[in-house]
Amino acid sequence: MPHLYRISPLGPTNPTTLSPPSPGTAPVLMAAKVISSGIRYTTLPESYVRPVNDRPNLSEVSNCDDVPIIDIGCGDRHLISQQIGYACRRYGFFQKELTWRTINQVVNHGVPDEIVQKMQQVGKEFFLLPIEEKMKHYSEDPAKTMRLSTSFNVQKEQVHNWRDYLRLHCYPLDQYSPEWPSNPSYFKLTHVEKSIRIREYVGNYCTAVRDLGMRILESISESLGLQKEQIKTILGEQGQHMAINHYPVCPEPELTYGLPGHTDPNALTILLQDTLVSGLQVLKDGKWLAVKPCPNAFVINIGDQLEAVSNGEYKSVWHRAVVNSDNPRMSIASFLCPCNDSIIRAPEEIIKDGSKPVFKDFTYAEYYKKFWTRNLDQEHCLQFFKNQ
């Protein structure tokens, strides 16, 4: 298949970019859409190369050694709200431990190790599927509620990102799970079993993570001096979706990103990191810091909607994903999103006397539409909604 040497994902390259194809390599047009095609690249395709002034400068990145770790199952709500308040003001993110490592048991939050491990197994096996099977789900339409895609917004961006991802909407579960991939088999049971245990594997994970997210939102609300249900009331019946991110081995990781620096447009992000391969970095005090994977922990990111609801007191965290030349990496991000028609505004209780809200009132539908009209690494989308 000689033409394979002249095709690269989403853009042109030269004949030296690809290693020789192995027998049974996927058709060229399929392989050209995604980077998890089984092809091993020896140089980075031109469409992924960042300008010199917009590269990760990996040698200048230090480790973030003081990531706040909060046990929200300790039973002391006052202590929890204090710790979360500090983390949200100072960092915009924190880590939530999953288990006691000494006895490897779940602590109070409903996300057992078994559920987490099965979810990770599903993600890994999906991206190991033959390219023909994966490409059945490919789409570049951000409105689709289930799709395999690549980079971030390939129709708008000028430089692409070294990432493929599977996006799944997860709530209500019985509405969205029927459209999930049936291969690998962990996504759904057989048709006979499905009606009995639809939440098996991925469904169980989605349900448990949603419950964890709702508890965290209650603690965030209390940390702002509000009633525990108040933020959830503002956000309305929240949607939920998931991105299973796959970052293949990259031939020149210093020239590109898995994802460039950005904030999340939603309310709260619950991230399950790859425990063996690092890649998450956060911006703190003007410097990028690497967040090492912590076994048995979720990383919790404050999103743009919580920055608006807190009247700017809590900051949506700038973060990015970098890649490496040795090992592929996977992360699983779960997003809690306000109801589309909920009015996003800071409650009167947290607006200082004599001041006005930092942000205009808006709906999440308005915000999300604006977010998708731009590149991920452009200025903070929330700036468009600031009061003058």
* Cβ-Cβ contacts under 8 Å for 352 (sequence gap 6 or more): none
Full pLDDT tens readout for the chain, 388 residues: 333 333 345 543 433 344 444 444 445 556 568 999 988 899 999 999 999 999 999 999 999 887 778 887 777 888 888 888 888 887 766 665 543 222 122 234 458 888 999 899 899 989 999 999 999 999 999 899 999 999 998 888 899 999 999 999 999 999 999 899 888 765 655 544 533 343 588 999 999 999 999 999 999 999 999 999 999 999 999 999 999 999 999 999 999 999 999 999 999 999 999 999 999 999 988 999 999 888 788 888 999 999 999 999 999 989 999 999 999 999 999 999 999 999 999 999 999 777 889 999 999 999 999 998 877 777 899 999 999 8
CA dist 259 and 320 (Å) reads 5
- How far is C-alpha 147 from the geometric centre of its chain's CA atoms? 15
CA dist 173 and 179 (Å) reads 10
- Stated as kind and residue range, the H or E segment containing 85 is helix 77-90
The verdict on pTM exceeding 0.85 is yes
Complete domains list, the chain, with CATH: 59-385 (2.60.120.330)
CA dist 237 and 309 (Å) reads 16
